[in-house]
Structure 1
Amino acid sequence: MRIDTSVNLRAWNTFGLPATAQTLVHIEEEADVRRVVDHPEFGRAPKFILGGGSNIVLARDVTACVLKIEIPGLRVVEERDDAVIVEAGAGESWHRLVAWTIEQGFGGLENLALIPGTVGAAPVQNIGAYGLELADRFDSLDGVDLVTGRGFTLDRRLCRFGYRDSVFKHELAGKGVITRVRLRLPRPWQPVLGYLDLQRKMEETGIAQPDARQIFDWVCAVRRAKLPDPAVIGNAGSFFKNPVVTPEQCRDIIARDPHVVHYPMDDGSFKLAAGWLIDACGWKGKSVGGAGVYEKQALVLVNRGEARGAEVLTLARAIQESVYGRFGIRLESEPILLG
């Protein structure tokens, strides 16, 4: 178990925001979590779990003990007629896992390519993109209780997945560390192609029956065209959740603005494109201090250089007020806000 003190977290969050962690513990194996729990100083201290730092906005220093999750490992657990079960350490890059499954000849995760962050953070957020969510491919996960030091295993039902939501944002928030995640890749493989960007790729290329590798390449290309690389421009990916509204609310908004981008959901509700709502309010390209709205995708807030966390929060709140004022819709932030 490696321990660092007075660590500048600028390099540990993809927004590139300055903040200092009094104590940072590198969690390189499951036993390290138990060592923290048993530690005379850190055992009872508040904990802050840090993966790839792609889903946080740091607007203050972190006084809690930061657990930097770095547990490695990729393996095939089981190959069955109906599915392949793969497992990854919580510290692995999510995109590396997706690319690795494609290289092994296993389809199923290709729509989730190039999502930043670690494997361990994926179930917390129930990440999703291009018509697929983690919950659709989830099998189970292992973790360690931060109070007792005991290991636990949760299946899909116990994780209580929702839209960008899980039990780790509620009852288990800050109470456990995810150490390994297992995913179920169905056999036979079936492509998920309902998303508009993928349909456009099919039309552009003339490929009517793409394989998993082709979809993987398309998703990577679409994301690179729309979203900034955090290594070049600091950001936390999509900053706001796409709001879900009732059919009545959707009809009311369409009546006022027929161009609003919306998608029907299985339960009869409608998902609105938050990026479109923000763009319609004129925010694309605007800035508050060093924080700005990305010129190519209004859903993404960026660090234009030396931005402070407080500037990001000020910009986010102004956008929320603007969208609510025009559409009556309250946008909810995706990243964890430490301010």
Structure 2
Amino acid sequence: MEILENASLEDYSTMRLGGRAAYLTKVADRERLKEATTWAKQRQLPVIMIGSGSNTIWKDSGFNGLVICNRILYYQEEPIGGDANKTVLVKVGAGENWDKVVERTVSRGLSGIESLSLIPGTAGATPVQNVGAYGQEIRDTLVSVEAYDNESGEIVIINKEDCGLSYRTSRFKTVDRGRFYITMITLQLRRGDPVQPFYPAVQNYLADHGIVNFTPQTIRDAVIAIRQAKLPDPVLVPNCGSFFANPIIEETEYTRLQVAHPNLPNWPVGNGRVKIPAAWLIEEVGLKDFHDREMGVATWANQPLNRNQSCFPSRTNVGLRLQEHKSGGIWTNPPAFWKISRSYLPGSSALTVMLAEELRSPPCRHRARAQVAVVADYDGLFEANHNSLTSNTLDLQSTNREVNLRIEGGRRLHGEVTLKASKNAAVALLCASLLNYGVTKFLNFPRIEEAIRMIEVLESIGVKVTWRENNTVELRRPKKLRLENLDEEAARKTRSVLMLIGPLMQDHGEFDIPYAGGCELGERTVKPHQYALEEFGVSITATNNRYIVKVDKKAPGEMTLYESGNTVTNNTILAAACTTEETFIQAASCDYMVQDLCYFLQKIGVEIEGFPSAGLHLS
């Protein structure tokens, strides 16, 4: 278990801000989770477990304890009952990206969570919030939650009925907050098309676009279009998505308010109560696209959402400013937004605001701030950046802040350059050399770190490597590879080790390789490789910092990649090269490193057609 000290929390929240954690670790299975919590208890440290950080705002003071990042990945479908073709149990690891889970179930014709598309975060967070959108909630399909009980130290199963699920809440965020660390959820979905009536916004979208065939995919597409029109991508604009709680009031109170507000919309929720849309209330009191330059408070033009200043905001001041806009006695509930800062504001409204960059803030400390300036169109924000755009020259070394550059073209370039060999293509070709039982010779081969580490891995399993003049390298594969001698230290230093899976399935029914490492580009998931290679009869299980690979070789015929990445495309091509039948690959990457691999495989007898394009045919 690797534990980082004094770790910046900016990269562990979709707000991309915050102080530092005293300690931070990532867990990929239950055992690592138990190990992490035990480690913290022995040191009497507070613990918080997060997914992608879409529900979290970190204070500038950081977190003086252990932050556990849930990276538990798992997905399994299990038909149940006599109606096995219609009802499916889906077990999902808590660290899985939620929208990817929805995407995968929809692609398999399963309905029940398609309206929960594009909700940021991980699967494990869905029962905590009882997430809901466009007429669906997670409690509609949830069967049970698997969790680590921090009190007993055991893994427990909690049935839906015992989760305390209600509107945007559960026992996991109230009475048992911090007790359970969710490791897996089980959903019950139905194979078939969704049934009308749909949520009004979805119904209107379908009607406006002339959509009459209602499948899980058409509903997902509609929801994504609606959400993208309302909410910015957190990759581009740091935010926590839509975090407002619609006020629920008594019908008698609604009748009273309707006299003053005849157009006040509502949805009956039973027991003599109705729900009022907070978005309508925000717009009605004049807070839609509202920008407060003094407070640095704003709402999104199309939908309220969260955004923080360069420092954690003063909750009291924001609460007082919100109360200035209370109207008609409607604002009765504390905003759902404040639950993530663990500080409810008495009497504040049920709306959620976007806390944007403070206009008076010191020089920019976050990459996202200039993006917010563009999207929110704040006048006068980041004058230094604006000045850099209107200046003819800019000394990048003399400034300690981030800048924007304007590039003017129109001048034809001419001359000669010497091209360097590609690292990405080189490591793919090294892996592919295992499919050649003769001598492989690569000319003008780059002697760079990633390639050298992969060569060390190949040498450790028996490949003879000889360097010649002019950076020519020769590789001679033995008849039998000694996988038990694999150099794990070298393997953990390269993120390309995953591309060994395809070639190794040629002669090995079962093997394991270390987790991929390499440069600091963030978490790397094996899921795209798993989804692709399972079409060839390959199963990959992540455990104990290793990938356990089992092979029951088969030919998929035609397949579509889950992700059009370079390494997963290469791995799929290498796996297809190990079969004796035709394979059609859709959604393949067209990158140069993929083309180089295809050229090489052609030289050793593999027939490949279609490159460079997203459709490849191997035989």
TM-score (norm 2): 0.51
- Seen in structure 2, the aligned counterparts of structure 1 residues 95 and 163 have a Cα distance that, compared at 3 Å, is same
Q: Does 1:264 align with 2:268?
A: yes
Structure 2 residue 233 is the aligned partner of structure 1 residue 238: no
Residues 36, 42 of structure 1: 8 Å contact kept: no
- Relative to structure 1, is the Cα distance of residues 116 and 320 closer, same or farther in structure 2, using a 3 angstrom cutoff? farther
Matches within 5 A, 1:15-26: 15-26=15-26
Q: Which residue of 1 aligns with 2:36?
A: 36
Q: 1:274 to 1:22 in 2, by over 3 A?
A: same
SS in 2 for 1:65: strand
Percent identical across equivalent pairs? 29
Letter in 2 for 1:147: E
In the alignment, does 2:11 pair up with 1:6? no
- Which range moves more in the overlay, 74-83 or 19-28? 74-83
Whether the 8 Å contact between 2:80 and 2:88 is mirrored in structure 1 is: yes
Code of the residue aligned with 2:286 in structure 1: it is: G
CA–CA distance in 2 between the matches of 1:316 and 1:281? 16
Q: Considering Cα pairs closer than 8 Å and 6+ residues apart, tell me whether 1 or 2 has the greater RCO.
A: 1
Q: 2:65 aligns to what?
A: 64
Map Cα deviations across residues 219-261 of structure 1 (whole Å, 9 max, x no partner). 0000000111111111112232111111011112211112223
Partner of 1:76: 77
Which amino acid letter does the alignment assign opposite residue 293 of structure 1? T
Which residue does the alignment assign to 2:419? none
Matched ranges for 1:150-169 at <5 A:
150-169=154-173
TM-score (normalizing by structure 1): 0.91
- Specify the alignment match of 2:321 in structure 1: 318
Higher mean displacement: 314-323 or 65-74 = 314-323
Of 304, 307, 310 in structure 1, the residue corresponding to residue 310 of structure 2 is: 307
Contact 1:95 1:116 in 2 (8 A): yes
Distance 1:281 1:44 in 2: 48
Q: Deviations over 1:257-276 (max 9, x none)?
A: 12223212133311111122
**Is 1:332 paired with 2:335?**
yes
3-state SS of the aligned residue for 1:121?
Answer: helix
CA distance in 2, matches of 1:58, 1:91: 20
Structure 2 residue runs of 5 or longer lacking an equivalent are: 344-619
Supply the distance in 1 between the matched residues of 2:305 and 2:234 (Cα, whole angstroms).
11
The equivalent of 1:254 in structure 2 is 258
Tell me, yes or no, if the aligned pair for 2:205 and 2:222 is still in contact at 8 Å: yes
Distance (whole Å) between structure 1 residues aligned to residue 92 and residue 104 of structure 2: 10
The letter for the 2-side match of 1:301 is N
User: How far apart, in 2, do the equivalents of 1:313 and 1:55 lie?
Assistant: 20
How far off its partner does 1:193 sit?
3.9
Alignment check: 8 A CA contact 1:290 1:311 kept: no
Q: Which whole-Å CA distance do the structure 1 matches of 2:315 and 2:55 have between them?
A: 13
Describe how 1:87-126 pairs up with structure 2 within 5 A. 87-126=91-130
Residues 313, 195 of structure 1: alpha-carbon distance in 2 compared, 3 angstrom cutoff: farther
The aligned counterpart of 2:518 is: none
**In structure 2, the residue corresponding to 1:39 is in which secondary structure?**
helix
Structure that is richer in strand per residue: 1
Q: Which structure has the larger Rg over C-alpha atoms?
A: 2
Checking the alignment, whether the CA contact within 8 Å between 2:110 and 2:191 is kept in structure 1 is no
Over residues 76-110 of structure 1, what are the superposed CA-to-partner deviations in whole Å (9 max), with x where a residue is unaligned? 13344152100111011110100010112212211
Q: Deviations over 1:182-225 (max 9, x none)?
A: 10013555335431211111221222341111000000000000
Q: Does 1:296 align with 2:277?
A: no
Tell me, yes or no, if the aligned pair for 1:36 and 1:43 is still in contact at 8 Å.
Answer: no
Shift, 1:320, TM fit: 5.0
Distance 1:5 1:207, change over 3 A: same
Measured at CA, do residues 193 and 15 of structure 1 come closer, stay the same or move farther in structure 2, by a change above 3 Å? farther
Confirm or deny: 8 A CA contact 1:320 1:331 kept in the other structure. Answer: no
CA separation of 1:128/1:40 partners in 2, compared to 1, >3 Å: closer, same or farther?
A: closer
| CA distance in 1 between partners of 2:256 and 2:324 (Å) | 19
* Matches of 1:2 and 1:88, distance apart in 2: 25
Deviation string for 1:295-331 (max 9, x for gaps)? 111x31334xx53221577435532552367534234
